[in-house]
Amino acid sequence: MNTSRKPCSSWFVTIGMFAVCLAGHATGLADEACRWKAEEGKSLALLRGEQVLWQFCYDAEQAKPYFHPVAVADGRVLTWNSPPDHRWHHGLWFSWKFINNVNYWEPDASGKPAGKTKWRNVEIRTQENGTARIAMDLAYNPGDEKVVLTERRVVEVSAPAEDGTYVFDWICRFTAGDEKVVLDRTPLPDEPGGQAWGGYAGLSVRFAQELVDRQAFTAEGPVEFNAESRYRGRSAAMDYNGTIDGKPCGIAILDHPQNLNSPTPWYAIRSKPMSYYSPAVLCYGPHTLEPGESFTLRYRVLVHEGRWGAEQLAEQAKRYAPGQAR
């Protein structure tokens, strides 16, 4: 696409319902080794050389929009998309489990979830300093055309800092349609019909199989996994880290203090085949919305090198400023 028509450093192009802010030159970033790569209606990636630092995937044919790969500055990939044990896990992504008893998380015999997640009005803006803003409208329906829940989602991605750390700031505002909405999850082990894996729903990270020597911390201290290789507990922040190719790296998530059920419940897995965690907002119980009622979830996701502990998490949590509703 020819960008020479504008002398300024960045400009906007609208293609159908999509808007992309393109750099004014071939790379356009302050770091000349970086460049944006966009596939209209499908993906946006920030590259360093030929390596993808992060990529947002939003092809309408897929079940959910998601980020994968998510990598540290040297190119080591932290996430895993559609692993063979859970094809419905998508790197860094958001999904409800049950809405009014309909499953929006995993596929049924058709290969897709019974509950449908659709999106439109996707607006992507990138800047030459390496930052991006992704906004979209999502609708949740139980397999027909009736929308039971809508979402306005904004994700702002920072440029990498000097130490390579970069941030995804998520803001999701959910509004019930013209009927009551019950957001729910698989019951916990001590509940009727409970399962060892119960409690998950919401923002999630599935880590790459290459991540080994795994550990996790909350802002209060190290996480202790139970006999089923799982952890549940509350905290304002959690970090899950390990090593890839012998070098430490991880992903931290901060819970906004105004979120539902804050400090958030966490659900984490450190089993032989799976490294996964989530600020599982519904872990300890369902949430009901009356018709037209809304609520907002905000999270900060930090991708970093090294191993973070409780002290660093607590410091980051203090820096997490309240976001503005969009």
Q: What is the pLDDT of residue 170?
A: 98
Q: What is the C-alpha end-to-end distance of the chain, expressed in Å?
A: 30
Which residues have C-beta within 8 Å of that of residue 313, sequence separation ≥ 6?
217, 218, 219, 237, 238, 239, 252, 254
Q: Does a structural domain hold residue 103?
A: yes
Domain interval for residue 108: 83-319
Q: Does a structural domain hold residue 100?
A: yes
Q: Does a structural domain hold residue 305?
A: yes
String of DSSP letters for 288-321: EE-TT-EEEEEEEEEEEES---HHHHHHHHHH-P
Question: To the nearest whole number, what is the mean pLDDT of the chain?
Answer: 89
Amino acid at 38: A
Q: Does a structural domain hold residue 156?
A: yes
Q: What is the pLDDT of residue 321?
A: 60
8 Å CB contact between 232 and 204: no
Q: Spell out, as residue ranges, where the chain has pLDDT lower than 70.
A: 1-32, 321-326
d(Cα 326, Cα 324) in Å, to the nearest integer?
6
Q: Does a structural domain hold residue 59?
A: no
d(Cα 120, Cα 297) in Å, to the nearest integer?
20
CATH of the domain at 118: 2.70.98
Amino acid at 297: L
8 Å CB contact between 73 and 58: no
Q: What is the pLDDT of residue 175?
A: 98
Q: Does a structural domain hold residue 20?
A: no
- Measured over all CA atoms, what is the biggest interatomic distance in the chain, rounded to whole angstroms? 64
Of 225, 43, 265, nearest in space to 132 by CA? 43
What percentage of the chain exceeds 90 in pLDDT? 83
The CB density around residue 238, as the number of other CB atoms within 10 Å, is: 28
Q: Does a structural domain hold residue 34?
A: no
Of 162, 302, 154, 167, nearest in space to 238 by CA? 302
d(Cα 159, Cα 35) in Å, to the nearest integer?
12
> Which strands sit side by side in the sheet containing 181-184, from one edge to the other?
102-103, 98-99, 181-184, 287-289
The total domain count for the chain is 1
pLDDT digits (tens, 9 = 90+) for 110-124: 889 999 999 999 999
What does the block give as tokens for 302?
């930090």
Q: Does a structural domain hold residue 181?
A: yes
